[in-house]
Homo-oligomer: A and B are copies of this chain.
Amino acid sequence: MIESTAIHQNMIAKLATRSALDSEDRAAIEALPVYVRDVRASSYLIEEGQQATRCVFLNEGFVYRQKLTTHGARQIVSVQIPGDFVDLQNLFLKRSDHSIQALTGGTIAEIPVDAMRALALGRPGVGRAMWIDALVDASLAREWVLNVGRRDARGRVAHLICEFSVRLQAAGIAEGVNYALPMTQEQIGDATGLTAVHVNRTLRTLTEGGMIGRNGQQITIRDEKALRTLAGFSAGYLHLDQAA
Protein backbone atom coordinates (compact mmCIF):
# COMPACT_ATOMS: atom_id res chain seq x y z
CA MET A 1 0.00 0.00 0.00
CA ILE A 2 1.17 3.41 -0.97
CA GLU A 3 0.47 6.84 0.45
CA SER A 4 -1.14 8.73 -2.35
CA THR A 5 -2.92 11.86 -1.42
CA ALA A 6 -3.05 13.05 -5.02
CA ILE A 7 -5.09 10.05 -6.08
CA HIS A 8 -7.38 10.37 -3.08
CA GLN A 9 -7.93 13.96 -4.07
CA ASN A 10 -8.79 12.90 -7.60
CA MET A 11 -11.33 10.44 -6.24
CA ILE A 12 -12.84 13.10 -4.04
CA ALA A 13 -12.96 15.53 -6.95
CA LYS A 14 -14.75 12.99 -9.10
CA LEU A 15 -17.31 12.01 -6.49
CA ALA A 16 -17.89 15.66 -5.66
CA THR A 17 -19.01 16.25 -9.26
CA ARG A 18 -21.72 13.68 -8.59
CA SER A 19 -22.93 14.87 -5.22
CA ALA A 20 -21.83 17.32 -2.56
CA LEU A 21 -19.49 15.83 0.02
CA ASP A 22 -19.05 17.16 3.54
CA SER A 23 -15.77 17.12 5.41
CA GLU A 24 -16.48 13.78 7.04
CA ASP A 25 -17.23 12.26 3.66
CA ARG A 26 -13.92 13.58 2.40
CA ALA A 27 -12.07 12.27 5.41
CA ALA A 28 -13.61 8.85 4.93
CA ILE A 29 -12.43 8.76 1.32
CA GLU A 30 -8.98 9.92 2.32
CA ALA A 31 -8.81 7.04 4.78
CA LEU A 32 -9.43 4.51 2.03
CA PRO A 33 -6.58 2.06 1.53
CA VAL A 34 -5.38 2.42 -2.01
CA TYR A 35 -2.93 0.36 -4.03
CA VAL A 36 -1.46 2.27 -6.91
CA ARG A 37 -0.26 0.45 -9.97
CA ASP A 38 0.86 1.26 -13.49
CA VAL A 39 -0.77 -0.59 -16.35
CA ARG A 40 0.53 -1.09 -19.84
CA ALA A 41 -1.53 -0.60 -22.97
CA SER A 42 -3.71 -3.63 -23.79
CA SER A 43 -3.10 -5.36 -20.47
CA TYR A 44 -6.17 -6.78 -18.73
CA LEU A 45 -7.32 -5.20 -15.49
CA ILE A 46 -10.16 -7.64 -14.94
CA GLU A 47 -11.25 -10.67 -16.90
CA GLU A 48 -14.79 -11.81 -17.48
CA GLY A 49 -16.02 -14.33 -14.94
CA GLN A 50 -13.44 -13.33 -12.41
CA GLN A 51 -14.30 -12.52 -8.83
CA ALA A 52 -13.25 -9.02 -8.01
CA THR A 53 -11.70 -8.25 -4.68
CA ARG A 54 -10.73 -4.73 -5.51
CA CYS A 55 -12.39 -1.80 -7.13
CA VAL A 56 -10.46 0.19 -9.71
CA PHE A 57 -10.19 3.96 -9.97
CA LEU A 58 -8.61 5.13 -13.20
CA ASN A 59 -6.20 7.90 -12.35
CA GLU A 60 -4.47 8.29 -15.67
CA GLY A 61 -4.89 6.74 -19.10
CA PHE A 62 -7.83 5.12 -20.84
CA VAL A 63 -9.41 1.70 -20.47
CA TYR A 64 -12.40 -0.03 -22.02
CA ARG A 65 -14.85 -2.72 -21.11
CA GLN A 66 -15.46 -5.47 -23.60
CA LYS A 67 -17.55 -8.57 -24.08
CA LEU A 68 -17.02 -11.40 -26.49
CA THR A 69 -19.48 -13.36 -28.56
CA THR A 70 -19.11 -17.14 -28.53
CA HIS A 71 -18.21 -16.67 -32.17
CA GLY A 72 -15.25 -14.54 -31.11
CA ALA A 73 -16.56 -11.14 -32.12
CA ARG A 74 -15.71 -8.37 -29.72
CA GLN A 75 -17.93 -5.55 -28.54
CA ILE A 76 -16.56 -2.66 -26.56
CA VAL A 77 -19.35 -1.63 -24.21
CA SER A 78 -17.76 1.45 -22.69
CA VAL A 79 -14.63 3.52 -22.59
CA GLN A 80 -13.44 5.00 -19.32
CA ILE A 81 -11.43 8.18 -19.06
CA PRO A 82 -9.16 9.46 -16.29
CA GLY A 83 -11.13 10.05 -13.13
CA ASP A 84 -13.65 7.28 -13.75
CA PHE A 85 -14.43 4.46 -11.40
CA VAL A 86 -14.06 1.54 -13.71
CA ASP A 87 -15.93 -1.28 -12.04
CA LEU A 88 -18.34 -0.15 -9.39
CA GLN A 89 -20.41 -3.13 -10.45
CA ASN A 90 -17.90 -5.42 -8.83
CA LEU A 91 -18.72 -3.82 -5.51
CA PHE A 92 -21.85 -5.90 -5.21
CA LEU A 93 -21.83 -8.47 -7.99
CA LYS A 94 -20.00 -11.72 -7.48
CA ARG A 95 -18.47 -12.16 -10.87
CA SER A 96 -17.53 -9.72 -13.55
CA ASP A 97 -19.69 -10.02 -16.66
CA HIS A 98 -17.08 -8.42 -18.90
CA SER A 99 -13.36 -7.85 -19.23
CA ILE A 100 -11.60 -4.56 -18.68
CA GLN A 101 -8.58 -3.81 -20.76
CA ALA A 102 -6.22 -0.86 -20.98
CA LEU A 103 -6.48 1.24 -24.10
CA THR A 104 -3.32 3.14 -23.27
CA GLY A 105 -0.73 2.99 -20.54
CA GLY A 106 -1.87 4.60 -17.32
CA THR A 107 -2.02 4.37 -13.59
CA ILE A 108 -4.83 2.96 -11.52
CA ALA A 109 -5.69 2.85 -7.85
CA GLU A 110 -7.10 -0.37 -6.50
CA ILE A 111 -9.33 -0.23 -3.45
CA PRO A 112 -10.44 -3.33 -1.53
CA VAL A 113 -14.13 -3.88 -2.23
CA ASP A 114 -14.92 -4.25 1.46
CA ALA A 115 -13.72 -0.77 2.26
CA MET A 116 -15.49 0.68 -0.72
CA ARG A 117 -18.70 -1.16 0.07
CA ALA A 118 -18.62 0.06 3.64
CA LEU A 119 -18.44 3.60 2.31
CA ALA A 120 -21.26 3.07 -0.15
CA LEU A 121 -23.60 1.73 2.52
CA GLY A 122 -22.33 3.54 5.58
CA ARG A 123 -21.85 7.12 4.49
CA PRO A 124 -24.94 8.53 2.76
CA GLY A 125 -23.01 11.40 1.19
CA VAL A 126 -20.48 9.16 -0.46
CA GLY A 127 -23.09 6.50 -1.14
CA ARG A 128 -25.18 8.98 -3.02
CA ALA A 129 -22.24 10.07 -5.15
CA MET A 130 -21.44 6.45 -5.93
CA TRP A 131 -25.04 5.72 -6.78
CA ILE A 132 -25.10 8.57 -9.22
CA ASP A 133 -21.86 7.47 -10.77
CA ALA A 134 -23.15 3.95 -11.29
CA LEU A 135 -26.47 5.18 -12.66
CA VAL A 136 -24.81 7.50 -15.13
CA ASP A 137 -22.69 4.58 -16.25
CA ALA A 138 -25.87 2.62 -16.92
CA SER A 139 -27.31 5.57 -18.80
CA LEU A 140 -24.31 5.57 -21.11
CA ALA A 141 -24.82 1.88 -21.76
CA ARG A 142 -28.41 2.52 -22.79
CA GLU A 143 -27.32 5.28 -25.12
CA TRP A 144 -24.84 2.87 -26.66
CA VAL A 145 -27.62 0.37 -27.27
CA LEU A 146 -29.42 3.10 -29.20
CA ASN A 147 -26.26 4.10 -31.00
CA VAL A 148 -25.42 0.62 -32.17
CA GLY A 149 -29.02 -0.43 -32.75
CA ARG A 150 -30.53 2.47 -34.59
CA ARG A 151 -27.96 4.77 -36.13
CA ASP A 152 -26.12 4.28 -39.39
CA ALA A 153 -22.35 4.10 -39.60
CA ARG A 154 -21.75 7.83 -39.87
CA GLY A 155 -24.11 8.57 -37.02
CA ARG A 156 -22.48 6.01 -34.79
CA VAL A 157 -18.97 7.22 -35.30
CA ALA A 158 -20.04 10.85 -35.07
CA HIS A 159 -21.83 10.10 -31.83
CA LEU A 160 -18.79 8.43 -30.34
CA ILE A 161 -16.69 11.45 -31.24
CA CYS A 162 -19.21 13.85 -29.71
CA GLU A 163 -19.55 11.82 -26.52
CA PHE A 164 -15.83 11.61 -26.05
CA SER A 165 -15.38 15.29 -26.62
CA VAL A 166 -17.99 16.26 -24.07
CA ARG A 167 -16.78 13.80 -21.46
CA LEU A 168 -13.18 14.87 -21.83
CA GLN A 169 -14.15 18.50 -21.50
CA ALA A 170 -16.32 17.80 -18.48
CA ALA A 171 -13.40 16.01 -16.87
CA GLY A 172 -11.12 18.91 -17.65
CA ILE A 173 -8.87 16.78 -19.84
CA ALA A 174 -9.47 18.32 -23.23
CA GLU A 175 -10.03 21.94 -24.04
CA GLY A 176 -12.06 23.02 -27.00
CA VAL A 177 -12.61 20.91 -30.05
CA ASN A 178 -9.26 19.26 -30.35
CA TYR A 179 -8.46 16.03 -28.56
CA ALA A 180 -6.81 12.66 -28.86
CA LEU A 181 -9.12 9.72 -29.36
CA PRO A 182 -6.78 6.97 -28.23
CA MET A 183 -8.42 4.20 -30.21
CA THR A 184 -7.41 2.36 -33.33
CA GLN A 185 -9.96 2.15 -36.11
CA GLU A 186 -10.49 -1.47 -35.19
CA GLN A 187 -11.38 -0.46 -31.64
CA ILE A 188 -13.71 2.25 -32.89
CA GLY A 189 -15.35 -0.47 -34.94
CA ASP A 190 -15.70 -2.72 -31.92
CA ALA A 191 -17.30 0.13 -30.02
CA THR A 192 -19.77 0.99 -32.76
CA GLY A 193 -20.59 -2.45 -34.12
CA LEU A 194 -18.77 -1.81 -37.40
CA THR A 195 -15.73 -3.30 -39.09
CA ALA A 196 -12.41 -1.51 -39.10
CA VAL A 197 -12.57 -1.13 -42.87
CA HIS A 198 -15.90 0.56 -42.71
CA VAL A 199 -14.80 2.82 -39.88
CA ASN A 200 -11.98 3.93 -42.12
CA ARG A 201 -14.34 4.83 -44.94
CA THR A 202 -16.74 6.48 -42.54
CA LEU A 203 -14.05 8.65 -40.99
CA ARG A 204 -13.04 9.64 -44.47
CA THR A 205 -16.51 10.85 -45.36
CA LEU A 206 -16.68 12.80 -42.09
CA THR A 207 -13.34 14.39 -42.92
CA GLU A 208 -14.32 15.11 -46.50
CA GLY A 209 -17.58 16.56 -45.30
CA GLY A 210 -15.61 19.07 -43.25
CA MET A 211 -17.00 17.85 -39.94
CA ILE A 212 -13.77 16.66 -38.40
CA GLY A 213 -10.07 16.93 -39.01
CA ARG A 214 -7.67 14.11 -38.32
CA ASN A 215 -4.00 13.84 -37.69
CA GLY A 216 -3.16 10.36 -36.52
CA GLN A 217 -5.33 9.74 -33.49
CA GLN A 218 -5.77 13.45 -32.96
CA ILE A 219 -9.33 14.51 -33.69
CA THR A 220 -10.46 18.03 -34.36
CA ILE A 221 -14.12 18.83 -34.48
CA ARG A 222 -14.41 21.33 -37.30
CA ASP A 223 -18.16 21.70 -37.51
CA GLU A 224 -19.62 20.79 -34.17
CA LYS A 225 -23.17 21.70 -35.09
CA ALA A 226 -23.22 19.53 -38.19
CA LEU A 227 -21.51 16.68 -36.37
CA ARG A 228 -24.02 16.74 -33.55
CA THR A 229 -26.91 16.88 -35.95
CA LEU A 230 -25.58 13.94 -37.89
CA ALA A 231 -24.99 12.02 -34.66
CA GLY A 232 -28.27 13.01 -33.11
CA PHE A 233 -26.20 13.91 -30.10
CA SER A 234 -27.78 15.45 -27.06
CA ALA A 235 -25.79 15.50 -23.83
CA GLY A 236 -28.69 14.83 -21.48
CA TYR A 237 -27.86 11.17 -21.01
CA LEU A 238 -24.47 12.12 -19.55
CA HIS A 239 -26.23 13.71 -16.57
CA LEU A 240 -23.47 16.24 -16.10
CA ASP A 241 -25.57 18.59 -14.01
CA GLN A 242 -26.16 16.36 -11.03
CA ALA A 243 -24.24 18.15 -8.30
CA ALA A 244 -25.45 21.61 -9.27
Residues of B close to A19: CB separation below 8 A: 92
Contact with B along A220-244 (1 / 0, CB 8 A): 0000000001001010110101100
Bound CA span A135–B135, Å: 8
Contact yes or no, A131 B75, CB < 8 A? no
Chain B residues positioned under 8 Å from A127 (CB to CB): 120-121, 127
- Please report whether the interface of chain A is mostly helix, strand, loop or mixed according to DSSP: helix
Assess the A77–B145 pair: CB atoms within 8 A: yes
What CA separation (Å) do A223 and B234 show in the bound complex? 43
Check B149–A193 contact: CB distance below 8 A: yes
Interface string of A121-139 (1 = CB under 8 A from B): 1101001100110111111
Alpha-carbon distance A57/B229, docked complex (angstroms): 36
Q: Which residues of chain A from 100 to 148 have a CB within 8 Å of any chain B CB?
A: 120-122, 124, 127-128, 131-132, 134-139, 141-146, 148
Binds B, one of A65-73, A171-179, A203-211: A65-73
Q: Which of A161-213 contact B (CB under 8 A)?
A: 192-193
Q: Give the residues in chain B near A242, CB-CB below 8 Å.
A: 92-94
Is there contact, CB below 8 Å, between A131 and B236?
no
A71–B155 Cα distance when bound, in Å, is 11
- The answer to whether B193 and A71 touch across the interface, beta carbons within 8 angstroms, is no
With contacts A150-B74, A239-B97 taken as known, whether A131 is within 8 angstroms of B67 at the C-beta atoms is: no
* Interface residue? A214 (CB, 8 A): no
Complex Cα gap A121–B92 (Å): 15
Interface residue? A14 (CB, 8 A): no
Q: Are A146 and B69 in contact (CB under 8 A)?
A: yes
Nearest-Cβ distance from residue A191 to partner chain B, whole angstroms: 8
User: In the complex, what distance in Å separates the CA atom of A71 from the CA atom of B124?
Assistant: 41
Per-position 1/0 for A149-161, Cβ under 8 A of B: 1110001000000
Knowing that A75-B149, A88-B135, A145-B148 are A-B contacts, what are 16 other residue pairs whose CB atoms are under 8 Å apart, sorted by A's residue number?
A67-B142, A67-B143, A69-B150, A71-B232, A77-B142, A89-B135, A93-B139, A95-B239, A97-B142, A97-B239, A120-B127, A120-B131, A122-B124, A138-B138, A141-B142, A150-B193
